[in-house]
Amino acid sequence: MTALLHYLPLLGVLVVVIGFALRFNPVPVVVVAGIVSGLAAGKSIGDILALLGTSFVSERALLLFVLTLPAIGVLERAGLREHARNWIASLRSLTLPRLLIAYLGLRQILSMLGLTSVAGQAQTVRPLLAPMAEAAAEKRGRPLAPEERNAVRAFSAATDNIGLFFGEDVFIALGAVLLIQGFYAQHGIELHPLQIALWALPTAIAAFVIHAIRTLLFARRIRNVASGPAAPLEQQSRTANEQQNKLDTDQHG
């Protein structure tokens, strides 16, 4: 009986798994999971509410990224994404894999230096990297089909995540390394942060190599996909823009 009680809070995990599998809106799923797991642990409604409230507000730094939205929005209104696209299209030698792999490397190095908030999905991927990657992909001579455009955008977002995660773990002054050191110190094992950071390097390098290879394969797939004959160069960039404009109007019009 006591053993069963010990495992009962896992019901909250079950709620999350079922809710996500059935594709319910994640926010209520998560809140219900918290309440279920609190009830299963024998907490009162008042305690559960307080726990939910304090856990929520103590993590409010996670909402800081919304502060980038006004500046990015004003620039988008004046054609930031369109210009990013035009500019990359004009740089002949900047191909899709070169753009994404350079971004991956830069993001990893910046994160290793502790500069994790310098780039991000809101700061750099939506306004800069994604439109640039789309333009670079269209250098194959044909505009992107909507599903290809989405695939390029998703791959750009993935590249940002991978660069962030597998650089951050090497940085010694914040985050992961200090958490590891602090945890060991509590358990009577004294380590220097540099010792820990050093051993995250092999995986960071492996992450770069693996994702760079996947980027090359992804770019080749986008480039070689069978389709109609390529339009002459001059005409093609114009059709690409027109197609994008049409897409935008379709989405927002």
Partner 1 sequence: MLTIEQAYWLIALFLAGAAILNLRAHRWSHAAFWGVLAVLIAGGKYVLAAHAAHHQFPAQLAGVGVIALAVLSPRMTRGQVSERDSAAREADALRLRHRLFGPALLIPLVTLLVALFGAYCVVGGVHLFAPYRMTLTGLALSCVVALIAALWVTRAKPAAGLAEGRRLLDTLGWAALLPLTLAALGGVFAATGVGTAVADVVRLAVPVNSALACVLAFGAGMVLFTVIMGNAFAAFPVLMAGVGIPLLIHLHGANPAILGAMGMVTGYCGTLFTPMAANFNIVPVALLELPGQNDVIRAQWKTGALLLVVNLTLMYFLVFRF
Q: Which of the residues 170 through 189 are near partner 1 (CB under 8 A)?
A: 176-177, 179-181, 183-184, 187, 189
> Nearer Cβ to partner 1, position 92 or 187?
187
* 49 counts as binding partner 1 under rule CB under 8 A: yes
State the minimum distance, in angstroms, from the CB of residue 229 to partner 1: 27
**What residues numbered 214-253 form the site for partner 1, per CB under 8 A?**
214, 241, 244-245, 248-249, 251-253
> Nearer Cβ to partner 1, position 88 or 95?
88
**What residues numbered 200-219 form the site for partner 1, per CB under 8 A?**
200, 202-203, 206-207, 210-211, 214
> Nearer Cβ to partner 1, position 230 or 238?
238
Helices (H), the chain: 2-7, 11-21, 26-40, 45-58, 69-77, 80-90, 96-112, 130-137, 146-168, 175-186, 193-198, 201-224, 233-252
Q: How far are the Cα atoms of 106, 166, 172, 173, 208 from residue 194, in angstroms, in the given order?
A: 22, 16, 6, 9, 21
**What residues numbered 51-110 form the site for partner 1, per CB under 8 A?**
51-84, 86-87
Residue 60 amino acid letter:
R
